[in-house]
Structure 1
Amino acid sequence: MKVPQRLKPLVEEGLVDEVLSQLMSGKEATVYVVRSGDSIRCAKVYKDAKQRSFKNAVSYTEGRKVKNSRQARAMEKGTRYGRQMQEELWQNAEVDALFRLANAGVRVPQPYICTDGVLLMELVTDAEGDVAPRLNDVELTPERARECHAYLINQVVRMLCAGIIHGDLSEYNILMAADGPVIIDLPQAVDAAGNNEARPMLLRDVQNLAVYFGQFAPELLATDFGKEIWKLYEAGELTPEYALTGQFEADTTPVDMAGLMHEIEETRREQEALLRRLQERQD
């Protein structure tokens, strides 16, 4: 096929030898199947902010680090330079997440390079060597559904142990490869420790898995892995090897209001004393 404009720099630099076909076009990017030497890979061409339809992007980018204060100020003001930095941050988030997750043992496509808004990465294939189908296009037996659900819950745990939450996990961004489910589409990946909405996003990702696989194995609808996982994460006890139960019991211990109010009052007094000392030094 004719080389798309955005892929021409990769062809000129020898990173891509041939564009074979367009694989898909979604809300964030258009993906092409390409040949690089003897390897068949895919090239993900990111759409710019005006073309993207991904909603509530600010919720996902909270906690992401920028290189310096100038970039941070520009992004806050929404200047042209700031918008450019925001775009780079959005695109680099997926590359960074892919490398971190691959190193943590999470099954994601292997990334190779990201340049000029194009991510070159592994083409995920099925047992016949064809492009792997999305999970929502695969019929599952109850037993296979339970196996895939258990595997993906472990993948969610591994992601969280690496400090990352997918943020948009569903049957539409999981591929069924020859070696099992592969998680894709990570530009909205969330920093678990730096994002105030990390917990609800994790719970939603886990709930999406329960709802989908619950079509084939209804007992999965009664599980509550999300809250169990988050409780262990907050307590510093979560590991990929932890034997999850899928059950969660909320802490119903009454709050010690008297003790809490005492701590607040002590903190207030300490702050007042500090301010007095500072004032005395200035006088």
Structure 2
Amino acid sequence: MKTPKRLQPLQEEGLIDEVMRQLMSGKEATVYVVRCGEEIRCAKVYKEASQRSFKNAASYQEGRKVKNSRQARAMEKGTRYGRKMQEEVWQNAEVDALYRLAAAGVKVPRPYICHEGVLLMDLVTDADGNAAPRLNDVELTPELARQYHAQLLHQVVLMLCAGVIHGDLSEFNILVDEEGPVIIDLPQAIDAASNTEAGVMLERDVNNLATYFGQFAPELNGTKFGKEIWKLFTAGLLTPETVLTGIVAQDTRPVDLGAVMEEIESAIFEEKERQRRLLEM
């Protein structure tokens, strides 16, 4: 096929030899199958912010680091330069997460390079060498649903032990190769230690898995793996070998409203101080 404009710079640099076909087009990117020498890989071309249906919301941006204070101020003010920096941070988040997770043993595509808004990475394939299907396109039995659910919970735990939360995990961004589920689409990945909504996002990811697999294995509905994982993580007790039960004892103690209000006021004060320091840089 004719080389798309966004892929031409990679072809000119010798990073891509041939664009073979378009694999898919999603809410945040278009993915092509490409040939690099004798290797078949995929090139993920990020869409411009104005074309994406998935907006880089503030909840995902929180805690992400930028190179210097000038960039931070520009991003805070929403200037043209700041928006450009936001795009770079958004795209680099996936590359950084992929390297970090691959090193932690998580099943993700191996990245090679991110150049001019294009991420070059491994093509995930099935047993026949064809592009692997998405989880929602795979026919599941109750037994296979339980197996894949357990594998993905382990992946979520490995991710969290590496300090990363997917943030948008569902059956639509999980591929299935010959060995099982492979997690993809990580530009919205968040740092578990620096994002105040980390626990909520972790629970949502895990609940999405339970809801999907619960269609085939009903006993998964109502499990509380998300709460259990986060509770163990915040207590410093979560490891890749942790055995999960999906059961969390309900806390029946009365809520200390005074302490809750103090926490809220403290958080508001800290945020105001952070904004003040940014302006003074």
Counterparts of residues 118-133 of structure 1 (less than 5 Å): 118-133=118-133
1:239 equivalenced with 2:235 (yes/no): no
| Residue aligning to 1:20 | 20
Provide TM-score, normalisation by structure 2: 0.90
SS in 2 for 1:204: helix
CA positional deviation for 1:254: 4.5
Percent identity between matched residues is: 75
| Residue aligning to 2:102 | 102
CA positional deviation for 1:222: 2.5
Counterparts of residues 16-95 of structure 1 (less than 5 Å): 16-55=16-55, 57-95=57-95
SS in 1 for 2:33: strand
| Residue aligning to 1:149 | 149
CA positional deviation for 1:151: 0.5
Provide TM-score, normalisation by structure 1: 0.89
Please give the root-mean-square deviation of Cα atoms over the aligned residues, in Å: 1.5
| Residue aligning to 1:192 | 192
Q: Deviations over 1:175-213 (max 9, x none)?
A: 011121000000000111111111111111001000110
Report the CA distance shift for 1:165/1:257 in structure 2 as closer, same or farther (over 3 A).
Answer: closer
* Equivalent AA in structure 1 for residue 205 of structure 2: D
* Equivalent AA in structure 1 for residue 8 of structure 2: K
Q: Which runs of 5+ in 2 are unaligned?
A: 263-281
Quote the Cα distance in structure 2 between the aligned partners of 1:257 and 1:176: 46
Counterparts of residues 253-272 of structure 1 (less than 5 Å): 253-254=253-254
Quote the Cα distance in structure 2 between the aligned partners of 1:210 and 1:223: 7
1:224 equivalenced with 2:246 (yes/no): no
| Residue aligning to 1:204 | 204
CA positional deviation for 1:257: 8.2
Higher Cα Rg, which structure: 1
- Aligned residue pairs total 261
Q: Which runs of 5+ in 1 are unaligned?
A: 265-283
| Residue aligning to 2:115 | 115
